[in-house]
Chains A and B, each alone.
Chain A
Amino acid sequence: QDLILPNGGTPAGTSSPASSSSLLNRLQLDDDIDGETRDLFVTVDDPKKHVCTMETYITYRITTKSTRVEFDLPEYSVRRRYQDFDWLRNKLEESQPTHLIPPLPEKFVVKGVVDRFSEEFVETRRKALDKFLKRITDHPVLSFNEHFNVFLTAKDLNAYKKQGMALLSRVGESVKQVTGGYKLRSRPLEFAAIGDYLDTFALKLGTIDRIAQRIIKEEIEYLVELREYGPVYSTWSALEGELAEPLEGVSACIGHCSTALEELTDDMTEDFLPVLREYILYSDSMKSVLKKRDQVQAEYEAKLEAVALRKEDRPKVPADVEKCQDRMECFNADLKADMERWQSSKRQDFRQLLMGMADKNIQYYEKVM
């Protein structure tokens, strides 16, 4: 379970596993391999705490191995903090608005409830960040994004960030979003279907998240009672002669059960819940991409209408309207491709996740027996 496996398979296929059983899964997915071998491997590990005068924060080591021409060296190792990931994601959203960008783990943590520097929290976050980068790596377009490249390779990211800000102010982004003004009359069926799907999906996941949390809570309360239950048998055994041994035995078994249960709840909290949350965040970001797509289409349709109203007899459509059309069609295509990819990787993820959950429960019962 501690193996940080590089991605096998293809960009279109699997996402990062956390267990070795998924290695088998990926090798079995022959239908997804299209002959390409992977040429980019990214890993997030080694969290370290940095204490400075102004603040304390954690950095993670990012290791990159690649044979791609875009990379000058075959191997890189840099340190990044959460802020940097956040920056990367924003950049990707800006520069590739027609694509689905994977979500980051939540930025803000309720102070007092969770300790930002606790081992569990840092580990959960590290896993999520690792997943984030691996998803980008898997993506045929996003993985070639220049911001991504810089993120993986630059010694001094901050310098690049500042540079990027300056550039932005001078040259507008080529595929900048249309802000307001255009309202879409009706979403084409297939995108409406995606929208509906995402709504229901996020809803169901939310419910599952709540159920899982409730189960963990009940299990913890059960654990509390078990912890009182076991010792009573010990007390009793002290009173008895012949029965002392069996009673003590029962007490020990119950203690055993308690430990196994604790492991189960810990595992579920660490491995199961974060994945659910990630997908909920993913759905949210996907929905906003859909909205952007709607915007683009709306702009196109509005311009088209404007042209029609001008009643010009030209068979040729003006250039800017054409551009709009192109944009819209690009968007649609990218989105569709991404959706397909997302669906299949989601399927993989959930399959693994739920199997993992089943596995954990099975292990729990085996230990308790």
Chain B
Amino acid sequence: MTENNFGLKKIEISVSEAEKRTGRNAMNMQETYTAYLIETRSVEHTDGQSVLTDSLWRRYSEFELLRNYLLVYYPHVVVPPLPEKRAEFVWHKLSADNMDPDFVERRRIGLENFLLRVASHPILCRDKIFYLFLTQEGNWKETVNETGFQLKADSRLKALNATFRVKNPDKRFTELKHYSDELQSVISHLLRVRARVADRLYGVYKVHGNYGRVFSEWSAIEKEMGDGLQSAGHHMDVYASSIDDILEDEEHYADQLKEYLFYAEALRAVCRKHELMQYDLEMAAQDLASKKQQCEELATGTVRTFSLKGMTTKLFGQETPEQREARIKVLEEQINEGEQQLKSKNLEGREFVKNAWADIERFKEQKNHDLKEALISYAVMQISMCKKGIQVWTNAKECFSKM
């Protein structure tokens, strides 16, 4: 739980519980889903006590809706990612089942983390819809949809087109895009290999458990060696079962990496927006330029560019000066409009770049800090694993020495 400024009050947010529910979906079919309890507490400055102000249940799809909304309305912000929809990078012990209690628990933590990140973001935390998400249980979905944000969303196709055709994007964004691609690829690889490593390590520890049984059986036929063997066997069992906790802790580390894997996608979204805006700008500038040229041609009478009017003129004869005047006037209006638009687009574009880059810098610092901590805690986990290993084998050795 962290504190943040929300309006004037400091609040604490937690996703405290998860519950299996059954209900009917949009197609009136029965379905099972998990609902999560979100509790909001406000902390009074004076005595530091926290009071429960709101508590409501949300399901994963509502979190998704919230995030999609934020993506549309804050394209210059690196929007925190949600925990994964389906379990990926599993190693054999974890099931890929969404109903699996371990998965649900880790998701609960992930969702809490998401809310905390949004709440601690200087821009996002002020959003009304976010506030309502935390406070208004019924009708929230309708409220969000009423904003019409889906309409405002850029089409995928448009974005893709812009990415390929843009001529002059800000170099920093291009670099950032490359970075986020590589980051995504390297973390995916890392998580995949880590899952395999975990699998193998599990095997190594578990097989030692077989020693426990054999030592026990062997000790039955021995006289002096019996006790030593028996107690050593017990330690082997302890060793074998210790791996379960160790690997569970490691899952937490994997989750931290996963968050940044998904953050890479958010980074890319910001880059795409920039490319889209830049492309738009370039197109508008191009359009304006061509209109200006047309106008000039009409005024001077020289035809340098191909135009339908030019063709028809050739075929059907020259147009009258009045007609020409009219056309020039229209074009001049359009050019004026175009110049206004270009100016505002330019301004928009620059604003976007400035704001986006500010948030990206903020993000970079957050990332460095978080990942450093994640790596440190991973190292601590490993050390603790080694210490446990030493403990068990030392105990076993002592048992053997008594044989």
Contacts and interface: CB of A to CB of B under 8 A. Distances in A.
Contact of B372 (A218, A246, A359): A246
A233 B187 CA distance: 9
Interface in B367-403: 367-368, 371-372, 375-376, 378-379, 382-383, 386-387, 389-390, 393-394, 396-397, 400-401, 403
A200 B389 CA distance: 31
Interface residues of B, number: 49
B33 interface: no
Given A242-B368, A365-B389, A365-B390, A351 B403 contact: yes
A281 B193 CA distance: 42
A239 B204 contact: no
Nearest to B368: A242
Contacts of B397: 355, 358-359, 362
A250 B403 CA distance: 40
26 contacts: A201-B218, A208-B211, A208-B214, A211-B211, A215-B208, A219-B204, A222-B203, A225-B196, A225-B200, A226-B197, A229-B193, A232-B186, A232-B193, A242-B368, A247-B375, A250-B378, A253-B379, A253-B382, A354-B403, A358-B400, A359-B393, A361-B393, A362-B389, A362-B394, A365-B387, A366-B386
Contacts of A365: 386-387, 389-390, 393
Given A229-B197, A233-B190, A351-B401, A218 B204 contact: yes
Nearest to B190: A232
Nearest to B236: A211
B221 A369 contact: no
Interface string B281-292: 000000000000
Interface in B77-95: none
Interface string B7-46: 0000000000000000000000000000000000000000
B218 A358 contact: no
Interface in A298-356: 347, 350-351, 354-355
Interface in B203-247: 203-204, 207-208, 210-211, 214, 217-218, 221, 224-225, 228, 232
Given A241-B368, A364-B389, 12 more contacts: A197-B221, A211-B210, A211-B214, A215-B208, A218-B203, A218-B204, A239-B186, A351-B403, A355-B400, A358-B396, A365-B386, A369-B383
Contacts, number: 124
Contacts of B224: 347
A290 B187 CA distance: 64
A337 to B, nearest CB: 17
B268 to A, nearest CB: 15
Interface in A219-234: 219, 221-222, 225-226, 228-229, 232-233
A222 B221 contact: no
Top 10 nearest A-B pairs (CB, nearest first) are A358-B397, A222-B200, A365-B389, A354-B400, A204-B218, A218-B203, A365-B386, A361-B393, A369-B386, A225-B197
B398 to A, nearest CB: 9
Contacts of A226: 197
Contacts of A241: 368
Residue from B207, B208, B379, B403 whose CB has the most chain A CB atoms within 10 Å:
B207
Contacts of B303: none
Interface of B: 179, 182-183, 186-187, 189-190, 193-194, 196-197, 199-201, 203-204, 207-208, 210-211, 214, 217-218, 221, 224-225, 228, 232, 367-368, 371-372, 375-376, 378-379, 382-383, 386-387, 389-390, 393-394, 396-397, 400-401, 403
Of the four ranges (under 10, 10 to 19, 20 to 34, 35 or more), the interface on chain A belongs to: 35 or more
Nearest to B183: A239
A253 B201 CA distance: 17
A87 to B, nearest CB: 34
A57 interface: no
B403 A347 contact: yes
B221 A239 contact: no
Nearest to A200: B221
Interface of A: 197, 200-201, 204, 207-208, 211, 214-215, 218-219, 221-222, 225-226, 228-229, 232-233, 235-236, 239, 241-243, 246-247, 250, 253, 347, 350-351, 354-355, 358-359, 361-362, 364-366, 368-369
A236 B200 contact: no
A347 B225 contact: yes
A225 B202 CA distance: 13
Contacts of B393: 358-359, 361-362, 365
Nearest to B378: A250
A271 to B, nearest CB: 15
Contacts of B189: 232, 235
Contacts of A347: 224-225, 403
Contact of B400 (A204, A221, A351, A364): A351
A179 B86 CA distance: 73
Contact of B394 (A246, A358, A369): A358
